[in-house]
Chains A and B, each alone.
Chain A
């Protein structure tokens, strides 16, 4: 039934890129890389997971032995051969102990440490499963010990020191013979009850997770899957309003969740007391899918119960900043942000239901070409006096096109960095130009709000403008523009070499075309989610920070950075609960830095607001501004 449910899901192309999928399977599943991002729980899980990979043949052996005490497996059969190998017996002993150690650690984490990430998870279910695992392994060891005591072991007993030592407990009488039967049957029955319980529990992940990881995303992490509006009416899909409208991957995601709460632990919305927990989001969707399951299978059109507010509340959907921390953390490749955006798509595009304060932004992006409704004619006003070429239609293409973004064009604080960037590029002798009034919003805020339709119309318009201008290499200041141009416009035929200004500036410094004078100020760099986590731009901004001052790292940095609070169109939404930007400013201030360096205009605004709000002495400045100052320093 679960397989049929997944197959009913809306289409999504996830069959390409086989080598990468196999690699993910090897690294994420076999290698347990995501889990090992947290050392102790990671090792705990790896011990149990690797343990069961090794122990798998013993399950089969136990089944055979349950039927017949001395089945006399032929040497030629794999099982029979394996049963006689001393090294295998050693591995079984070793991993059985590791699994037991893992279970003990798991209990310690759950009962003693009690991390917050388990809030809302089914704790009793997890306890039961851990107990079952402990039971399986204990009965296995005891059974092996009884076999040794009775001399039934096919393997040399010395190779399995633990079982051998335990065998001392048993005699060799009829009592032990009965015990041996009892233990092997207990072992098999626990395994069978585990298998029966499996589909109803979060432990289903031992089946679904590997599949989900295989079908996980292999393309740029910041890219959202486009919707198609050119289909016949009955095939059109405007995001997910009911269970029947979820994609198969989204359904598979919900069935893969292990309720481990790693997502919840890193979620900036959850951390600041908002209703959203990515874990509870996926669990809510899972419960909804399971409840609607029978209806879905009978007639998908009958599954009309709304996902919002049925499975999750409106607040949850709008709390998300699309920072992707949850996705990055998830050991089973659940793509929470895609779920959120799909829910938003339905709410915005079909029901016109969203926080009312975002209404002007959505209208202004579409009509005025920027999210604040500023006059496009003034788009190049920030560059007055810089000698920056504004491309007119028909002008020759520049070496590098500077895509300034709406913030850099119109916001006074972001303009500081745009001016610095332009001055630096010109000083390095680059032939650079801007589109001026012909540049418009990339559509990112509309897309992250769920208005795919408006996004696509902007994308098509911008691709046409960029192509007509002959753009090949584009530098952006805004990581959101960067992500959209680099990862999302290819879906609309726009293929350009896109770099962020920190990358281009770092290259110019490396080449000696810009020579900053080192300074003594302590600088902590805040990674923008859309640069670091979504696009792996980590080194370039750090190179620049290192070149102009003394770098200090925050605890949450690089791909595990903590959002400023502006992503996912939150620049235009009112925040409920305590402020994400203040939380981040506290962390930055704790490093003792004088300057909080950023590489995103929205991080600039949010964190500068956060600094003012909390009354701290901390200067928020874009890396480009700091570099320009370092060039001018005597």
Chain B
């Protein structure tokens, strides 16, 4: 059973986000990088599935040269090899990303490697587009279930559970399939040092796809509402209750 897991390099913003002066990007000078939390679970799941069912696990990213760091992180956890679609650091929109990934999977197929399962994060931590996995599925003609918190591979099918109000919705898909997963799917393992050392020797195949014109085109980024410095005091004692309820209503948790 061959599994492909797709990941994205994102900065660890922690809290307050600071932008570059031109508003085009997050100032990452002092930030560490990671892969989106959903995808960390995806990587773990890929390793577990292959540990259980045999086959090969492969990690793919579309990102700048530095994203090799995230590929090595995944390799350290037990992924067998990596595919790096190298960009020049410009953001790719979801359509372009999905096209490049689908093309890479087709190229693998041409080389004789068929994937039974393609894992994506439900949405990336930074762009939050909710669509790359779905678009790849359509391009490859595969079924796709999204937002999954539980997966079970059994006899050529995959049982998927999705969080829903009051319970979980279950999908049952034939393989091959695309699934997008969410944090909480599993508890990702902590990388061992021998694993990290092995990761340095595992193969990373790099190629440079051409970036098409974006159709969802970023103009600039804005930090919302100016960064607050201090808590707004709603009042003292029980008299503050009506204002608290106003706030809860505004946020939309009072329905």
- Distance in Å from the Cβ of B192 to the closest Cβ of chain A? 5
Closest A-B pairs by Cβ, 8 of them:
A375-B14, A367-B32, A437-B30, A376-B30, A349-B193, A352-B190, A453-B193, A377-B30
Contacts of B193 in A (CB 8 A): 229, 238, 349-350, 451, 453
Contact of B192 among A229, A350, A374, A375 (CB under 8 A): A350
Contact A377 B192 (CB under 8 A): no
Contact B33 A349 (CB under 8 A): no
- Bound complex: CA of A351 vs CA of B189, how far in Å? 10
Contact A352 B192 (CB under 8 A): yes
Q: Does B12 reach chain A (CB closer than 8 Å)?
A: yes
Contacts of B15 in A (CB 8 A): 374-375, 378
Contacts of A366 in B (CB 8 A): 32
- Distance in Å from the Cβ of A50 to the closest Cβ of chain B? 49
Contact of B31 among A349, A356, A376, A438 (CB under 8 A): A376
Q: Can you report 6 residue pairs joining A to B where beta carbons are below 8 Å apart?
A: A359-B190, A373-B12, A375-B13, A375-B14, A377-B27, A453-B193
Interface of B is mostly: loop
Q: Does B29 reach chain A (CB closer than 8 Å)?
A: yes
- Bound complex: CA of A366 vs CA of B34, how far in Å? 11
Q: Does A369 reach chain B (CB closer than 8 Å)?
A: yes
Q: Does B196 reach chain A (CB closer than 8 Å)?
A: yes
Interface centre among B16, B190, B194 (most CB of A within 10 A): B190
Contacts of B29 in A (CB 8 A): 377, 437
Which residue of the partner chain A has the closest CB to B14? A375
Interface centre among B189, B192, B196 (most CB of A within 10 A): B192
What's the A-B contact tally at a CB cutoff of 8 Å?
62
- Distance in Å from the Cβ of A228 to the closest Cβ of chain B? 12
Interface centre among A350, A352, A375, A379 (most CB of B within 10 A): A375
- Distance in Å from the Cβ of B160 to the closest Cβ of chain A? 26
Contact B33 A378 (CB under 8 A): no
Which residue of the partner chain A has the closest CB to B196? A453
Which residue of the partner chain B has the closest CB to A356? B187
Contacts of A453 in B (CB 8 A): 193, 196
B1-36 contact mask (Cβ, 8 Å, vs A): 1 or 0: 000000000001111101000000001011111100
Within 8 A of B (CB), among A430-489: 437-438, 451, 453
Contact A367 B12 (CB under 8 A): yes
Q: Does A257 reach chain B (CB closer than 8 Å)?
A: no
Q: Does A308 reach chain B (CB closer than 8 Å)?
A: no
Q: Does B141 reach chain A (CB closer than 8 Å)?
A: no
Q: Does A91 reach chain B (CB closer than 8 Å)?
A: no
Contacts of A238 in B (CB 8 A): 193-194
Query: How many residues of chain B are within 8 Å of chain A by beta carbon?
Result: 22
Which residue of the partner chain B has the closest CB to A238? B193
Q: Does A362 reach chain B (CB closer than 8 Å)?
A: yes
- Distance in Å from the Cβ of B194 to the closest Cβ of chain A? 6
- Bound complex: CA of A233 vs CA of B32, how far in Å? 29
Contact A368 B16 (CB under 8 A): no
Q: Does B191 reach chain A (CB closer than 8 Å)?
A: yes
Contact A350 B194 (CB under 8 A): yes
- Bound complex: CA of A85 vs CA of B16, how far in Å? 85
Q: Tell whether A375 pairs with B31 under 8 Å between CB atoms, given A367-B12, A368-B12, A453-B196.
A: yes
- Band of interface residues on A: 20 to 34
Interface centre among B13, B29, B193 (most CB of A within 10 A): B193
Contacts of B194 in A (CB 8 A): 238, 349-350
- Distance in Å from the Cβ of A231 to the closest Cβ of chain B? 11
- Distance in Å from the Cβ of B230 to the closest Cβ of chain A? 13
Contact A351 B32 (CB under 8 A): no
- Bound complex: CA of A283 vs CA of B187, how far in Å? 36
Contact B12 A377 (CB under 8 A): no
A365-393 contact mask (Cβ, 8 Å, vs B): 1 or 0: 01111000111111100000000000000
Which residue of the partner chain A has the closest CB to B192? A352
Contacts of A379 in B (CB 8 A): 30
Which residue of the partner chain A has the closest CB to B198? A233
- Distance in Å from the Cβ of A495 to the closest Cβ of chain B? 26
- Bound complex: CA of A379 vs CA of B193, how far in Å? 29
- Bound complex: CA of A379 vs CA of B29, how far in Å? 13
- Distance in Å from the Cβ of A374 to the closest Cβ of chain B? 6
- Bound complex: CA of A369 vs CA of B33, how far in Å? 11
Q: Tell whether A375 pairs with B190 under 8 Å between CB atoms, given A367-B32, A367-B34, A453-B196.
A: no
Besides A368-B32, A377-B18, 10 other CB < 8 A contacts? A349-B194, A352-B189, A352-B191, A363-B190, A367-B32, A368-B31, A374-B15, A376-B30, A376-B32, A438-B30
Contact A375 B16 (CB under 8 A): yes
- Bound complex: CA of A354 vs CA of B187, how far in Å? 14
Contacts of A362 in B (CB 8 A): 190
B186-215 contact mask (Cβ, 8 Å, vs A): 1 or 0: 010111111011000000000000000000
Which residue of the partner chain B has the closest CB to A348? B190
Contacts of B189 in A (CB 8 A): 352
- Distance in Å from the Cβ of A487 to the closest Cβ of chain B? 23
- Distance in Å from the Cβ of B11 to the closest Cβ of chain A? 10
Contact A367 B30 (CB under 8 A): no
Contacts of A376 in B (CB 8 A): 14, 30-32
- Distance in Å from the Cβ of B14 to the closest Cβ of chain A? 4
- Bound complex: CA of A375 vs CA of B32, how far in Å? 9
Contacts of B34 in A (CB 8 A): 367
Which residue of the partner chain A has the closest CB to B194? A350
- Bound complex: CA of A374 vs CA of B187, how far in Å? 22
- Bound complex: CA of A369 vs CA of B189, how far in Å? 20
Contacts of B27 in A (CB 8 A): 377
- Bound complex: CA of A233 vs CA of B191, how far in Å? 18
Within 8 A of B (CB), among A223-244: 229, 233, 238
Which residue of the partner chain A has the closest CB to B17? A375
Contacts of B31 in A (CB 8 A): 368, 375-377
Contacts of B30 in A (CB 8 A): 369, 375-377, 379, 437-438
Contact A367 B192 (CB under 8 A): no
- Bound complex: CA of A229 vs CA of B193, how far in Å? 10
- Bound complex: CA of A448 vs CA of B197, how far in Å? 21
- Distance in Å from the Cβ of A367 to the closest Cβ of chain B? 4
- Bound complex: CA of A350 vs CA of B193, how far in Å? 6
- Distance in Å from the Cβ of A128 to the closest Cβ of chain B? 46
Contacts of B191 in A (CB 8 A): 352
- Distance in Å from the Cβ of A411 to the closest Cβ of chain B? 14
Contacts of B32 in A (CB 8 A): 366-369, 376
Contacts of A369 in B (CB 8 A): 30, 32
- Bound complex: CA of A298 vs CA of B48, how far in Å? 38
Contact of A351 among B12, B192, B197 (CB under 8 A): B192
A330-365 contact mask (Cβ, 8 Å, vs B): 1 or 0: 000000000000000000111110101001001100
- Bound complex: CA of A123 vs CA of B61, how far in Å? 64
Contacts of A367 in B (CB 8 A): 12, 32-34
Which residue of the partner chain B has the closest CB to A438? B30
Q: Tell whether A377 pairs with B16 under 8 Å between CB atoms, given A352-B192, A356-B187.
A: yes
Contacts of A451 in B (CB 8 A): 193
- Bound complex: CA of A102 vs CA of B3, how far in Å? 73
Contacts of A229 in B (CB 8 A): 193
- Bound complex: CA of A437 vs CA of B28, how far in Å? 11
Which residue of the partner chain B has the closest CB to A350? B192
- Distance in Å from the Cβ of B155 to the closest Cβ of chain A? 31
- Bound complex: CA of A366 vs CA of B32, how far in Å? 8
- Bound complex: CA of A468 vs CA of B51, how far in Å? 46
- Distance in Å from the Cβ of A244 to the closest Cβ of chain B? 17
- Bound complex: CA of A422 vs CA of B197, how far in Å? 42
Which residue of the partner chain B has the closest CB to A365? B32
Contacts of A350 in B (CB 8 A): 192-194
- Bound complex: CA of A367 vs CA of B13, how far in Å? 11
- Distance in Å from the Cβ of B131 to the closest Cβ of chain A? 27
- Bound complex: CA of A373 vs CA of B190, how far in Å? 16
Which residue of the partner chain B has the closest CB to A373? B14
Which residue of the partner chain B has the closest CB to A227? B193
Contact A349 B192 (CB under 8 A): yes
Contact A374 B190 (CB under 8 A): no
